[in-house]
Chain A
Amino acid sequence: MPSDPGDRHRWVVRRVTCDAVGELLPGIVDGGEQADRRIQRHIETCLRCQAELAQYRKLLRVLHHLRTDVLEPAPGVLAGILANLEEAGEQGAMRSLLSGRRAAYLGGVAVATAAAGAAGAIVLVSRGRRRMKLAG
């Protein structure tokens, strides 16, 4: 049977056999794939394919019901998750604290550099004025 779904469908339509329909039933059972009219006709007239389709329907029903079956986790699973989250939270807080300190440090350096630059500029300006006075 061709692997491409389009080719597969054409192949099935050309040759509607139980085996070919059986290939499509897992997709048809929940409406995920639409059955061609010829395939529908085959299923309506074929007890074997009807039985197979009914088996798929039962299977899906039971699988769906498994959703409500919840296993009981071993003792310690919840505590383990919460401890892991706690640890991650502490690490996150530590990282933000460190990054805050780093930002404060870098900010301090920037302020100090700016202050030093401003002081240097004032000195240069005042020297320039003094020279101008002496020259005048």
Chain B
Amino acid sequence: MVERPQVAIIDYHMGNLFSVQRACEWAGLEGIITSDPRQVERADAVILPGVGAFGAAMEALNRTGVSQAIRDYVAAGRPFVGICLGIQLLMSESCEFGAHRGLGIIPGRVLSFRSSLDADNLVKIPQMQWNRIQAPRGHPTWEGTLLNGLPGGTFMYFVHSYYVVPDDSSMMIAKTSYAGREFCSALQLKNVFACQFHPERSGPAGLHIYQSLADRLRSRTPAQITQGAAQ
């Protein structure tokens, strides 16, 4: 049992990572903002947050060598959380400003709201608002995931122009609708949990997710963390 587990928060020099760090602190975790592959390797859990452009983020991850450290970390079955751009970076490819290769940890694509929605100025992109997350068919409960304990229909804070489409839809654990389109707002694949919304900006409901992560890191061995019910 670790008293104050260390969480590596991957830095690629865009946006505000401090809210992620403060949410970790709130939950009793030590959040370390880093782009050092060795720091990632040592951490009890890794969070890949994100705001900004897919291409620039991948370039930064590749330049520092942290992208390989992330792949190794996930492959070792250790607890990994992707947030917002972080869920998108896990995919194989994105169409944002031309095609880009992602981390390729989850087979799937990243699509734009703009090309899939009617180009009306009143359908605002980015989606910048609180919106509900719902359990999809096939995932009637959130037991065994970091969403466990939250009621269906909980409001979370979203800011994004793109969304993920995993090839295997069974890994989708939450869905959300925006302007008539339903998209994957959270997914889980073994030790990987990822969400399109920002738990650290979603008030008490979002902090619940950090608390769940902290509880698991304190009470279990790392390999069991996000596998939940499997242990």
Asked whether A and B interact, the reply is no
Partner-B contacts on A (CB < 8 A)? none
What is the interface of chain B, defined by CB distance below 8 A to chain A?
Answer: none
